[in-house]
Each structure stands twice: as C-alpha cells, then as structure tokens.
Amino acid sequence: MSNEARHAAVSGSSSGIGRAIAEHLLAQGWRVSGLDLAAPAITHAAFTAIPVDLSRGEQIASACASLGPVDALVHAAGVLRVGPLGTLDHGGGELMWRLHVDAAARLADALVPAMAARGGGRVVFIGSRVAQGMPGRGQYAATKAAVIALARSWAVEVAARGVTINVVSPAATATAMLQDPARAASAPRLPPIGRLIEPAEIAALTAFLLSPAAAAITGQDIAICGGSSLAS
C-alpha cells in the first residue's frame, strides 16, 4: 500500500462517526471519497463527495466503479431502529440489514479484490458493542454481529495478500443518532468512564488500523467502549 496519495472510501461521511473519520484521514494526508446520500458536510481539496443510496445495490456498484484504485475502505454508514419482541419494526430491520450488512458486502466485493491484487489494503467496518445483544435492540444487534462474521471470514481470505479487515465497535457515541426519535424508547447507556465516546476517538483508532503499523491486526472486533464491556 503506497504511502503517497493514499485513497480511502468512507461511507456515511456527511455526519457522525463517518464524518469524523473522513476529516481525520484528510488531516493525515489521505485523499477521501465520501459515499453518502446526504449532502456533503466537508469542504477540502482532497475530498470528493459521491452521492449514493447505500440501501440500493445498483447505486453502490455505480459508485464503486467511479472510485478508481482504493487503498482503504471504511464503512461507517448506518441507522438504528429499536423495539422489543411484539413491536419489532420490520421495515427498519430490513433497512438496517441493507445498510449495515448488504452494503458492507457489496462495497467489499467491489473493492477488496483489487486491493489484494495490488498486494495491500485496509478495511474497517464500524460495528457496535450492542452486537453482543441488548434488550430492545435485537434487530440492530443481529446486523452488527453479522458484520463481525463477515469481517472475520474475509480477513482469512485476503490476509496473505496484505489486506487487513477489522471491525471497530463503539459503545454509546456522541452523535446525532442519539437524538433520533426512532430510538426514544431505548435510551443510551453511559459508559463507566462517565461520558459518551467521542467520534474523534473512533476516528483515531480507525486511522491507526488503516496505517502500515497495523499490518499484523486483522479479523478483529475492537471495542472502544469506555469500560462498558468490563464485568461490573
């Protein structure tokens, strides 16, 4: 993977964690292509906004075809829909599956083989600590658990060709998702550190996983949870 003009494709780059990651990479000298349906929130000479509805496979294929060579893929786009058994949001569940799992599969299928053919690349999927299971969030948890399974499976396939694939799983993070009315019935749990995780902290960890120094880390689900995963 070249250290010059490294090119990252970042989904969900218009807000929250995806935007923080894109901005962090730009500050490190990366060229970033932002994949998002929302209007771009970043103005930078090395940033290119690519409008794409990540719930639609044909749009993902078209967007990937326009990217050119990519050194890194970060899939940060996502939504949260909540509900206990008996009141599940089935439409929301389908949307989460398309955005979290199907989009990850389509992006990786389109971009990772070329990384492997060139002898190097990096992939990070943004997961969630909720993948371990949480009342009221079963559908969301299932999609994030599926992303971990995909990452671990694909990491083995491309490890010998210099490509790493990892998942970064935050606990409750200070993004607009916390104010989403769709999650009003399921309040976030404050981590033991006494505050929410900051998007910039997730961006810094992600950037490290994209760096040459992280070449020996692959197939891992890395929690950034403020102590939430520790036994009480």
- Whether pLDDT at 185 is above 80: no
Contacts of 215 (CB under 8 A, 6+ apart): 162, 164
pTM score of the predicted model: 0.91
Q: What distance in Å separates the CA atoms of residue 7 and residue 47, rounded to the nearest whole number?
A: 10
- What is the enclosing helix (H) or strand (E) of 16? helix 16-27
Spatial contact of 30 and 8, defined as CB atoms under 8 Å apart:
yes
What residues act catalytically? 140
Mind listing the pLDDT tens digit for each residue in 41-65? Answer: 999 999 999 999 999 999 999 999 9
> What is the pLDDT confidence band of residue 4, given thresholds at 50, 70 and 90?
low
pLDDT of residue 193: 87
> What is the pLDDT confidence band of residue 231, given thresholds at 50, 70 and 90?
low
> What is the pLDDT confidence band of residue 189, given thresholds at 50, 70 and 90?
confident
pLDDT of residue 46: 97
- Whether pLDDT at 176 is above 80: no
> What is the arithmetic mean of pLDDT over 190-218?
95
Task: Tell me the domain boundaries of the chain.
Answer: 7-87+102-224
- The CATH number of the structural domain formed by 7-87+102-224 is 3.40.50.720
Query: What value does the mean pLDDT of the chain take?
Result: 93
> What is the pLDDT confidence band of residue 174, given thresholds at 50, 70 and 90?
confident
> What is the arithmetic mean of pLDDT over 110-138?
96
* Virtual torsion, Cα 143, 42, 122, 59, nearest 10 deg: 60
- Whether pLDDT at 1 is above 50: no
Mind listing the pLDDT tens digit for each residue in 80-98? Answer: 999 999 999 999 999 999 9
Residue 129 tokens read as 């600590």
Task: Give percent of the chain with pLDDT exceeding 90.
Answer: 84
